[in-house]
Chains A and B, each alone.
Chain A
Amino acid sequence: MFDTHPAAGGSSLVARADRRLSPVEDATNFVAAIFIFLLMCLGIAQIVLRTVFDTPLSGYVDLVELSMAGMAFLGAAYTQRMGAHIRMELLLSHLRGRGLWAAEIVGALVGMGIIAVLIWYSGAHFWRSFELGDTTIDAEFPVWPSKLVVPVAFSLWFLRLSVQLAGSVRMFIDPSRAPEGVTLMKNAAQVAQEEAEEALAASQDGKTDGC
């Protein structure tokens, strides 16, 4: 939660890969956001249909459960870029230069290892479901599109981790370079400053509230 992603303006390979990947991540996270918005609409519709018209949507729970894959996974790479997957920074915050980048390299490698395994085996999980033609119990919706989201989103996540790994290796080789394609840590005071600014900006938006 304490990280930031600097805009990559450089011409290095890492910076270019970063610029290619970012719009795709923004788009998938936006799709996840749309899923969440639709979940809200669906929930309200379900209450109204059930309590007012006594005709609840059939298959509502199935629909919600299948669509949750969109919310849970599509934004994974975006969240990685924003540095929002939580970690403990007790040690990291005391590291500087090569030590810090070495730790970032370890972190990226561990992430890539497990995500690679997950892409393969969640892919297998999807494939079984596709071949068997699995459906949900209640409304008999096909399950495979929902399961397909996992390997697809994780592949994007893997690409983002590769960019971060390359960015960290680049910095490890020469810590004096301008950071590209990596997340940078902020200390508590910086986070606080940003939280404060965001909150102020937000309350400016709602300025009509007559203060």
Chain B
Amino acid sequence: MLIGLGFEYPLLVGLIGIGLLVLLVMLGVRVVFAAATIGLLGLVELIGWGPAAGIVGIVPHAKSTIYALSVLPMFIFIGFVAFHAGMTTQLFNAASKWLGWLPGGMAVATVFATAGFAAVSGASTATSAVFARVAIPEMLRYGYDRRLAAGVVAAGGTLATLIPPSAILVIYAIIVEESVGRLLLAGFLPGLVSALIYGGIIIGWAKVRPEAAPSVGGATWGERFTSLPPLLPIVAVVFIIISAIYQGWATPTEAGALGAGIVFAVALFRGTGLRPITASLMETAKLTVMIFSLIWGVTIFVRFLGFSGVAEAFTAWVVSLDASPMTIMICILLAYAVLGMFMDAIGMLLLTLPVVYPAVIALGFDSIWFGIIVVKMAEICLVTPPIGLNCFVVSAVRPDIPLPDVFRGIMLFFIADVITIIVLLIFPEIVTWLPDLMRN
């Protein structure tokens, strides 16, 4: 009957495939199985068993042994080892020495300390957990509002995904076949802008309610400068990756390897034992398999979509809509916001981008810019109900701060995130400037 409505047969099969995929994923089938299974069945229907099975047998190995992807285990390893190298307290100490004098200074310091640590660790939730222990007691000691203290820790963790090294930006680059290096560079300024907007909104709020977020002065310049040297490894990792990509003296994988080596050396130097290092390696291997499985599983599905023509049809439909590209973009972002409430960011991107991305490009948006925006949207979902994992984590570390208080505390930063998205929509140059500079 649908054929009667004007759908061509492959397109119809494609749409049914998408429907079945959504059904399986909703039922709780692991995404890699659901995507690969529907991909295989769809290919069989469209091109027959022999060619379909041939494609499916090749994809896992072919798609997983691409040099550009080898940066992922390096970035993941940096993150797990960074935790054992334990730089959090020093980072917070330095940030509060330098920024404590501002209105709401301790909260501003927390933003930059979490941003710095999250950048290296790459893990939002874990960063929030650590800083809930390090920063919240300090803020409470100075009489900070507990909701603000909890909110800033939960929100600060989300800055992880934009500042290099960022695994999720690598994944985006691989799916849409963009340059990994350019995406990593592109994330840096928006990450910084996000942190600055967080800081700005805290200062503004502290001006209105100085008693709830007092400034903490008294650090001498001597104290400030002696607080800096322990931060060198973190600065070094971010600097190495940006400079290697920008100046081209190493590939992202090599830069990641060097960064991992530095963090690893620091961990050894600080007396980290063999057991936590082995555990970090095992965790790294596990997460690597998880991501690679998703990539080849979704690739099998994408091969099927390619034969069905769904992405082309969706693009044609979106372009024909009687609405401005910006309106459509805002609708797409809102859809991601809803989806992100229920799904892991990596799974969400892998499943949706094959269809959404070509349409976004056809509307005239920049591919790198869209990557940054989408990843930022996915991060916002880490702090909004109902899942809001970062908020759960903060409340778990500090049982004295109930979950509703953390969610209330996060409101300020949710507003800041919306401002950031609007700023990036109006000034896409913040995203594209650095990677364009590299190209020239």
Contact = CB atoms under 8 A, between A and B. Distances in A.
Interface of A: 1, 29-30, 32-34, 36-37, 39-44, 46-47, 51, 61, 64-66, 68-69, 71-76, 78-79, 82, 84-92, 103, 106-107, 110-111, 113-115, 117-118, 120-125, 146-147, 150, 188-189, 191-193, 195-196, 198-200, 202-203, 205-211
Interface stretch (B106-114, B165-173, B288-296, B314-322): B288-296
Contacts of B36: 114, 118
Interface in B54-103: 54, 56-58, 60-61, 64-67, 69-70, 73-74, 77, 83-90
Contact of A85 (B32, B230, B281, B387): B32
A40 to B, nearest CB: 5
B84 A87 contact: no
Given A118-B36, A125-B57, A209-B230, A71 B73 contact: yes
B33 interface: yes
Given A76-B293, A124-B57, A188 B285 contact: no
Given A64-B67, A72-B288, A111-B30, 11 more contacts: A29-B282, A41-B257, A72-B65, A90-B342, A91-B28, A107-B28, A117-B56, A191-B392, A195-B396, A199-B126, A203-B83
B276 A202 contact: yes
Contacts of A199: 83, 126, 129-130, 133, 397
B256 interface: yes
B26 A90 contact: yes
24 contacts: A1-B344, A40-B260, A68-B64, A72-B65, A72-B288, A72-B293, A74-B285, A75-B288, A76-B289, A76-B293, A86-B347, A91-B28, A106-B29, A117-B53, A122-B58, A188-B387, A192-B129, A196-B393, A198-B129, A199-B83, A203-B134, A206-B85, A208-B271, A209-B88
Nearest to B127: A199
A209 B66 CA distance: 39
Most B Cβ at <10 Å: residue of A37, A72, A115, A211: A72
Contacts of B432: none
Contacts of A106: 27, 29
Contacts of B342: 88, 90
Contact of A73 (B60, B77, B84, B271): B60
Contacts of A114: 33, 36-37, 40
B286 A206 contact: no
Contacts of B284: 33, 36
A72 B287 CA distance: 10
Contact of B294 (A42, A73, A86, A123): A86
Contacts, number: 279
Contacts of A113: 37
Given A66-B65, A113-B37, A72 B289 contact: yes
A76 B67 CA distance: 20
Contacts of A75: 285-286, 288-289
Q: Is the interface of A mostly helix, strand, loop or mixed?
A: helix
Contacts of B125: 192, 195
Contacts of A76: 289, 293
B292 A200 contact: no
B419 interface: no
B73 A29 contact: no
Interface in B198-239: 230
B89 A36 contact: no
A191 B344 CA distance: 14
A103 B70 contact: no
B389 A188 contact: yes
Contacts of A117: 40, 53, 56
B384 interface: no
Most A Cβ at <10 Å: residue of B32, B77, B125: B32
A191 B132 CA distance: 16
Interface stretch (B179-187, B246-254, B354-362): B246-254
List of 7 A-B pairs having minimum Cβ-Cβ separation, nearest first = A206-B86, A43-B257, A121-B57, A192-B392, A199-B129, A33-B281, A72-B64
B34 interface: yes
Contact of B84 (A47, A74, A193, A202): A202
A42 B257 CA distance: 8
Contacts of B56: 117-118, 121
A34 B60 CA distance: 21
